Amino acid sequence: MADSIGTLTLADCGGGGSGCPAASYSFDIGATTATLTITIASGVNSNNDIISAVNLGTNGINLTGLSVTGPTGSGTWTANQASINSSSNCTKGNGSFMCAAGGVDISAPGTYTWVFSYDSNTALSLMDPGTVHIGANYDPHQGFIVSQTIGGSAVPEPASLTLLGLGLLGVSFLRRKK
């Protein structure tokens, strides 16, 4: 059975947020393990040189036996089925995420990997990679959070909406002219 595999590259926090280093986020979700790898490209400074929590969205699929191993650093990593918050822990929201809280000092360039293990759940390996949500909390400044779905945002930019509206208006004038 094929795993769900995907990659996201962000110049910052994504979704218009700033303060995060430029990085690529890749994942491989299978029936009993999921791997999240963050590769830092640039932009690490004293406000964002620690990754204190990460998560992967599970589309609401319930997990049992969840555990995590992560990069060594300032603490051990603990797993929870919740999402990250700006307090650097995994207690926000419902169980639609596999989350790890801990801490690792980062640098650019650098690669950091978390491996989540759970009881067999074939549904996870069948997830659409475009619907997987990735999260990362950068510290010590609480609030630099990447919270992005691989498939992109469902909310169009205002400029895109304006162009669409002008296009539709133009079509209506063409139809009247004929």
Task: Report the C-alpha dihedral over residues 127, 134, 151, 121, rounded to 10 degrees.
Answer: 0
Q: What is the CATH number of the domain that holds 141?
A: 2.60.40
Per-residue pLDDT, 176:
54
Type of residue numbered 123: A
Q: List % helix, strand, coil for the chain (3-state, nearest 5).
A: 15, 40, 45
Banded model confidence at residue 166, pLDDT cuts 50, 70, 90: very low
Per-residue pLDDT, 178:
54
pLDDT, the chain, mean: 84
Q: Is the pLDDT of residue 164 over 90?
A: no
DSSP state of 46: T
Per-residue pLDDT, 177:
56
Per-residue pLDDT, 2:
74
Question: Over the stretch 123-139, which tens digit does the pLDDT of each residue have?
Answer: 988 889 999 999 999 99
Percent of the chain with pLDDT over 70: 82
Q: CA-to-CA distance for 20 and 140, rounded, in angstroms?
A: 11
Q: Are 137 and 52 in contact (CB under 8 A)?
A: yes
Question: Over the stretch 8-63, which tens digit does the pLDDT of each residue have?
Answer: 999 999 988 999 999 999 999 999 999 999 999 999 999 999 999 999 998 888 89
Per-residue pLDDT, 155:
34
Stretch 78-94: mean pLDDT: 85
- What are 139's strand-pairing partners? 50
Cis amide prior to 21 (ω within 30 degrees): no
Q: CA-to-CA distance for 135 and 154, rounded, in angstroms?
A: 17
Q: Is the pLDDT of residue 170 over 50?
A: no
Q: Are 39 and 106 in contact (CB under 8 A)?
A: no
Q: CA-to-CA distance for 102 and 68, rounded, in angstroms?
A: 10
Range of the domain at 139: 4-177
Number of domains observed in the structure of the chain: 1
